[in-house]
Amino acid sequence: MSIQFSYPQMSGTLDETNKNIAIDNNGGSYFDLTYTVGGTTTVLHFIPKRISFMDGGTDYMIIEHTNNSGKSLKIRFQITQSSSAKHDITPSNIYIDQLIGDGLEDKTLNFTEKSLNIGLVNTTEYSIDFSTCGEIPIKTINKDFKGGTFVSDTANIIKDGTTSISIPLTATTFMTDEIVCDEGTNNSTNTTKTYEAKIAGNVGLSFGIGLLILTLVVWRVTSLNFKYEAKTGLFGFGVDKEQVIYTGIFIFMFLLSVSCFMAYGGVLTWGGGLLEGETSEQHDTKLTALLSTAIISLLIFVFMAGYKMIVMTKTVVANL
């Protein structure tokens, strides 16, 4: 018997009448439920379809799921407003994995050695209450998402249902690129350190690839025996075809390096969040690709420009 779920970035449409968010793009989110009763094993795969918040003495977030066979699942998380949370939830940015990660890191949420009852309302309706695991911090709870017709569904979330179905939370309960919850130990990974490790790895790889490319450039350039005139200047194109191509290449590498460094810094400074429909893995890949390209281009530019300066210097000395 097991539960496995993940909610990467999703987006949806606000239902102003019923005060909930209908999920249009689930971003690969899922909830898998496997249990055995009377020797029969049931395996269910659900995808989220609707999310809503309820306030009262306690704030809750309810996620409704469906699957291809017409079964439904409603799960409930307890939430709390917190200024330290990474973000709030809007129809265009429903990133629950990160909110759960906040709760695990802040220790307001704990899956360690917990077990949950699966409420089987009837043969097609399931419910699970995660509120016993603690609170998920969220920056703000928008009043437009609270209450509405979803309040009447609360009973299905807290209903005991078939109490004989009890699922222990394990290492594979909450699966995300950023955080893995382990049984007996809270193995939450610091996302900043994880990203720094990715950056460090990509920087090392960039230098390795850059040096390999430079080796090929050195081999080719030194065989051309350029004879730039000193008056040509560092960014001058020279007179013959090879000189023009050579200078054009390192000017392009200079512009490419500057552009990629600026784009990398701009994404981190002004657009550090995920774009709509973009996963955290895609976001990290985009950033590291920009940094890698910037570094490799810079290495090529430095060598090619330096080599041209050496050639011009030798030309001046030879003419003295």
List strand residue ranges (DSSP E) for 212-286, in order.
none
* Upper half-sphere CA count for residue 140 (Cβ side, 13 Å): 5
Percent of the chain with pLDDT over 90: 7
pLDDT band at 286 (very low <50, low <70, confident <90, very high): confident
String of DSSP letters for 30-67 = EEEEEEEETTEEEEEEEEEEEEEEE-SSSEEEEEEEE-
The pTM for the full model equals 0.54
Q: What percent of the chain has pLDDT over 70?
A: 66
- Residue 179: pLDDT band by 50, 70, 90 thresholds? very low
What is the structure's pLDDT at 102? 83
Q: Which of 49, 43, 44 is nearest to 74 (CA)?
A: 49
Q: Are β-strands 72-81 and 125-129 bridged in parallel, bridged antiparallel, or unpaired?
A: parallel
Question: What is the pLDDT, as a whole number, of residue 258?
Answer: 92
Structure confidence by residue, pLDDT tens digits, 18-62: 778 899 998 889 999 888 877 788 889 999 999 988 766 678 888
Q: What is the DSSP letter of 275?
A: P
**Does the structural domain 2-189 have CATH classification 3.40.50?**
no
Sequence ranges of the domains in the chain: 2-189, 193-319
Is 50 exceeded by the pLDDT of residue 210?
yes
